[in-house]
Structure 1
Amino acid sequence: MTSPASPPSPEAAYATAPQLHLEGDDLVRLRRSMPKREWLLRWGALADRQTLTAHPDDGKAQTGALRPIQKLIAFDTEHGTASGPVHPDDAQWVVFPRGYVRQEYLAWAAEQEAAAQAGSVPHRGHDGELYDGDGRAL
């Protein structure tokens, strides 16, 4: 049986992602107040993005990227919280777990964009600053 969808490319998945240092700062600052799944997702995506240019044989870099992604897959499998079209227990994620975080980040980013358009969640402005749902800088 084939999976219904291929994972998105890093360029597609992270097209609207903040700069690496801004995302890292947000994750450190918001860890305790952010829902666990969102934190795991963003941490996994950050690790994936940070190692996109690492050599495939660089075990340290690859292991560092895979650890948070595997935690996200385990969380989504246990809690049924996946948003993307391919479920976390699909065999393709055993072979290519980085594709899972890309799929989930793309789905999450679309949800965030829709919520930001509705003015209901914090979001990054074009200036890189974080704003609340009312447009005030955080």
Structure 2
Amino acid sequence: MTTPASPPSPEVAYATAPPLNLEADELMRLRRSIPQREWLLRYAALGDRQTLNAHPDDGKAQTGALRPIQKLIGYDTEHGTTTGPVAPDDAQWAAFPRGYVRQEYAAWAASQ
């Protein structure tokens, strides 16, 4: 039995990501002109990045980051659009959904 791949660290997953303010502006500008999956992925990654230093007990920050990640997981589960090595319905994402968006963002960024 093989162990599922560990998600990349934020430093690795977001190594080539644009600065937060530029990505936020770009996402608002492109909202209707890029594929839905790409928008969901980039928006979820933005939320993850914005809250990397938030305290784990900060419910508002954590909820704000997790909501778009759950939408991405749901979308990928429904449409079979995951690009990383571990499927969106894998049990590890229930415990650590942020890992899923990091996996997917890293795979997406590598393809750009």
TM-score above 0.5: yes
Residues 50-61 of structure 1 correspond to what in structure 2 (within 5 A)? Answer: 50-61=50-61
Identify the residue that residue 9 of structure 2 maps to in structure 1: 9
8 A contact 1:3–1:86 mirrored in 2: no
What secondary structure is seen at the aligned counterpart in 2 of 1:29? helix
Gaps of 5+ in 1: 113-138
**Cα RMSD (Å) of the superposition?**
0.9
Deviations 1:91-114 (A, max 9, x none): 0000000000000000000001xx
Deviations 1:62-113 (A, max 9, x none): 000000000000000000000000000000000000000000000000001x
Structure 1 or 2: more helix by fraction: 2
* Amino acid across the alignment from 1:105: Y
CA distance in 2, matches of 1:68, 1:89: 16
* Amino acid across the alignment from 1:18: P
CA distance in 2, matches of 1:76, 1:3: 21
Identify the residue that residue 67 of structure 2 maps to in structure 1: 67
Residues 1-138 of structure 1 correspond to what in structure 2 (within 5 A)? Answer: 3-112=3-112
Structure of higher CA gyration radius: 1
CA distance in 2, matches of 1:19, 1:82: 25
Deviations 1:2-43 (A, max 9, x none): 642001000000000000000000100000001000000000
Gaps of 5+ in 2: none
What secondary structure is seen at the aligned counterpart in 1 of 2:28? helix
% identity of equivalent residues: 80
